[in-house]
Amino acid sequence: MLQLTAIDMIKASRQITYYGIKPQLPKVAPISLFAQDQKDELFLGPHVRLCGFSGMAHIESATLAHQYAEACTPSLQRRYGNETKLEVVSWESAEDKKLASRIQKDSEIIRKRLVAGNFTPNKAP
C-alpha cells in the first residue's frame, strides 16, 4: 500500500492550469511548420503566428484564451482559408516559477493585443 507524506500531498496539489490555442487548418501548414503539423503539434503563439509547442501562447484563463482565439480567427482565415478554426486546449503542469512567469508574460502580450485590436504578427502589441 502506498502512503503519501504531508510533503508529497502538498507537492501533488500544486498544479497549474494554463491554456493554449490549437489551429485546425483546411490545408497543410507552411513548409517551415510542416513537422509540427504532421505531428499534430501546431499552436498559436502570443504574436499571432503559428508555431510548435515551445512557442505556443501560455494563457492564464480559458476566458482570455477564447477572447484571443475569437479575435485572431479572421486574420488567420485570411492567411490559411475560411475553414480555419481555433480550438482552446488546456494544459496542467506542476507549479514552477519559470512556467508561471511565461504564462504571465504571454497573457499580458495577449491583453495588449486585444485592447489595441492588433492581430498582425509584425506589429508590436
pTM of the model: 0.84
Contacts for 58 with CB less than 8 Å, ≥ 6 apart: 18, 19, 20, 91, 99, 102, 103, 106, 107
Sole residue written with cell 484564451: 65
pLDDT along the chain (125 residues), means of 10: 55 82 89 86 94 95 98 94 96 92 97 92 74
Residue 4: the pLDDT is 57
Main-chain dihedrals φ then ψ at residue 75, nearest 5 degrees: -65, -45
| Domain boundary assignment for the chain | 15-116
User: Are the CB atoms for 86 and 72 separated by under 8 Å?
Assistant: yes
Residue 32: the pLDDT is 84
